[in-house]
Homo-oligomer: A and B are copies of this chain.
Amino acid sequence: MTPEQRTWKIGELAAATGLSVRSLHHYDEIALLRPSSRSPSGHRLYAGADVRRLHRIVALRGFGLTLTEIGRLLDGEVPDPRGLIRRQLDQVETQLAAAIQLHDRLLEVLNALDATEAPSDRTLLNLIEGMTTMTRLTQHELDEMTARRTEFRDSLTPTELADLEASRRQALESMTESELEEMRQRRAAMMPR
């Protein structure tokens, strides 16, 4: 007699959320999202609670968390969610630094290439070889950077950590007004489309 008896079949849910049916199968397999019932013929039937859980999954996925982390978070097995987000932030900053470097190097190569008549792949290779000494970051090195950051963080006392975060927030907030917007404009200008 409870309301909300409506259920969704997997295809309906997929269409509604933009996920693939295969993704929902996958979430079921890894026990991240199991439909609360099945039809007599074995079809997955998702109830309202399932749909709400799915929305959270999608949101958290948008934050770059792995499906395992999402599962633990949703099941209340994460003692320090703030720490989780902080680690995410560290990781993204590491990636960002690497991407910016790579972006700059690619632009340099492209400029040099454009300055050359009929650039052959020989030219390209010579160019690139000339840049070999520049810092290049592999996935492994990225992981290590992130690890070092985390390590550094963990070496701080709670007070020091609080200070560090306060100062970063302040740095960001102090430029929030026009500068931040300006920064975004520039970034946007660099991105075609």
Contacts and interface: CB of A to CB of B under 8 A. Distances in A.
Interface of A: 55-56, 58-64, 73-74, 76, 78, 81-82, 85-86, 88-89, 92-93, 95-97, 99-100, 102-103, 105-107, 109-111, 113-114, 119-121, 123-125, 128-129, 131-132, 134, 136-138, 148-149, 152, 164-165, 168-169, 171-172, 175, 183, 186-187, 189-193
Given A85-B110, A121-B73, A192 B59 contact: no
A62 to B, nearest CB: 3
Contacts of A74: 125
Given A59-B131, A61-B138, A85-B113, 6 more contacts: A62-B132, A62-B137, A63-B102, A73-B121, A149-B193, A183-B186
A49 to B, nearest CB: 14
A60 B126 CA distance: 11
Contact of A128 (B60, B99, B113, B120): B60
B103 A93 contact: yes
Number of copies of this kind of chain in the complex: 2
Nearest to A106: B89
6 contacts: A55-B129, A81-B120, A82-B114, A88-B106, A92-B102, A183-B183
B164 A128 contact: no
A114 B78 contact: no
Given A89-B106, A89-B110, A99-B99, A124 B191 contact: no
A192 B172 CA distance: 12
Nearest to A141: B18
Contact of A96 (B96, B114, B129): B96
Given A92-B99, A99-B96, A124-B73, A119 B190 contact: no
A60 B73 CA distance: 39
A93 to B, nearest CB: 5
A55 B130 CA distance: 11
